[in-house]
Amino acid sequence: MNLDFLEQAPSQAGFAATVGLSQPAVSRIVRKGIVPAGGTFGEWLQAYCSHLREQAAGRAGDKQVNLTARRAEESEMKTNLLRLEYQQKLGVLILAEMAEDVLRDWAGFANREYGISTENIVAAIESEHGIAIDREQVAKIAGATIERVRTHAEAIGRRLLGNGEPVEDCQHPPFPSIP
């Protein structure tokens, strides 16, 4: 097999006929620098094949790189969405809004119970010992504890939601008066 033509200067028409392109298409690839101007037929063939391999591998210019990156990102997003849907079906995924509701309900319930039980303890002590306990002092001490629970619940809510917004108010009701 005689391959001497590979060492000769190519014509655009001859190269076009060899690789299955039109002469204007070869002119464009020469202008773009895909094949070396002044190179041999073999150098053109090698450069053109390298260009085709890069295109096939998705490395052909910024547009192709961007398209490949977008496709990979879209694929990852679809995979993540399917994973979340699967976890939700299994019952192991709790959405932030659901967690916020649970946290708000828990904090409100806990604060009401703390307030009621504190008042019940005070009333029991007063009844047992025949004394009067200053409700303002009790509210100051127990209220501070309840306030810490409320602010902690708000802080957790802000972290859960990721937007700096606190969960709805978890205030305790005023201490009930037991006659």
Mean pLDDT of successive 10-residue segments in the chain (179 residues)? 80 88 90 89 89 75 74 90 87 80 84 89 94 91 85 80 55 47
Cα distances from 57 to residues 33, 68, 154, in angstroms, run 19, 10, 51
pLDDT of amino acid 178: 44
Q: How far, in Å, CA of 12 to CA of 23, rounded?
A: 6
pTM, to two decimals: 0.42
